[in-house]
Amino acid sequence: MHCLKTVIGAIAIAATMLLAGCVTPETAGPPSIDAGAGRFLYKDPAAATGKSLWVWTYRPRSFTSDSPIVFVMHGVKRNADVYRNNWITLADYHGFLIVAPEFSRDDFPGSWHYNLGNIMYRADSNGTLAANAERYWSFPIIDRVFDQVRNLTKTNRKSFSLFGHSAGGQFVHRYMTFTGGPRVDLAIAANPGWYTMTARDERFPYGLGGTKVTDDELRKLYGSLLVVLLGEEDTRRGTYLRTTPEADRQGANRLERGKTYFAEAKRNAQAAGMPFKWRLQTVPGVGHKNAGMAGPAAVLIKEAAAAP
């Protein structure tokens, strides 16, 4: 009887772990995206970064081959599972497929490999910056994960929505800056801590100085559907807020910095005679909380999906 209870207990624990997505690489089966919460291991080609990422997913039972696909980018804590969980109720309500890639600290250490996309690196002790080959960039991994998601779900969708909060919001606006987001139908950068401004007289990572971004690429960026989504209560200077002189020139807090980023980009686009399609939206009563920003973001995504 004791042995039977032990076996039953072990089965119950295993079932709970599977439902929570808590499987290890050794026990994980072939990649799949089944109904409910789960995850799969994505292995980037050796010709690119050669790294692996856990991809946390949620597939509502109402999902069809035409349902919107939403990539959710985590913050500095690299807790993609928590970010995915914040979107489950919204996914059920709106019919979204949620895809939350996890950029681990081991494979993507620090802000240079995640928030900044590994496009540049410090070449010497003097802080001299040099460009990485594009195959090593972190940003294009998202597009390759999307390819696998398309294969696993047999979706008809050829584009996806991209949402990121905090460090994830930093990832989103730089992803759009340096790739143009050719497969993104809507990008939402929520509460980033600081920005890569669209000015060439500001040195990277605070501006485009030293990068190879062209006028054509800036035209694509300004013409993209990018929403800067800011919590009106996100005004604290907490532990994770960068406080360098360059960051503080953007504003004293995340709310101010987001408004500065949007306003400067609009001025730069107008000065260059380029169309500007971005949108700035604030969320009353919300501070630096992914869960609080997810609801308003979901409404924007639903609107974009319904647009002709």
User: pTM of the prediction?
Assistant: 0.90
Three-class SS state of 243: coil
How high is the pLDDT of residue 203?
A: 95
How high is the pLDDT of residue 126?
A: 81
How high is the pLDDT of residue 69?
A: 98
Span 199-211, average pLDDT:
96
Cα(275)–Cα(269) distance, integer angstroms: 7
- pLDDT over 50 at 23, yes or no: no
> Tens digit of pLDDT for each residue in 6-22?
333 443 333 333 444 44
With cut-offs at 50, 70 and 90, classify the pLDDT of residue 123. confident
DSSP state, residue 235: -
> Tens digit of pLDDT for each residue in 273-295?
999 999 999 999 999 999 999 99
> Tens digit of pLDDT for each residue in 225-278?
999 999 999 999 999 999 999 999 999 999 999 999 999 999 999 999 999 999
- pLDDT over 50 at 27, yes or no: no
Which residues, including other chains, have CB under 8 Å from residue 282's CB and lie 6 or more apart? 229, 230, 231, 232, 255
Span 69-80, average pLDDT:
98
Cα(128)–Cα(71) distance, integer angstroms: 33
* Secondary structure element (H or E) that encloses residue 112, with its range: helix 110-113
- pLDDT over 80 at 67, yes or no: yes
With cut-offs at 50, 70 and 90, classify the pLDDT of residue 28. low
Do 174 and 117 form a contact (C-beta atoms < 8 A)?
Answer: yes
The token pair at 126 is 């003097």
The token pair at 198 is 């669209």
Do 145 and 101 form a contact (C-beta atoms < 8 A)?
Answer: yes
Cα(227)–Cα(220) distance, integer angstroms: 15
Residue linked to tokens 């497929």: 97
* pLDDT > 90 in the chain, percent: 85
Three-class SS state of 150: helix
Which residues, including other chains, have CB under 8 Å from residue 175's CB and lie 6 or more apart? 117, 139, 142, 162, 181, 187
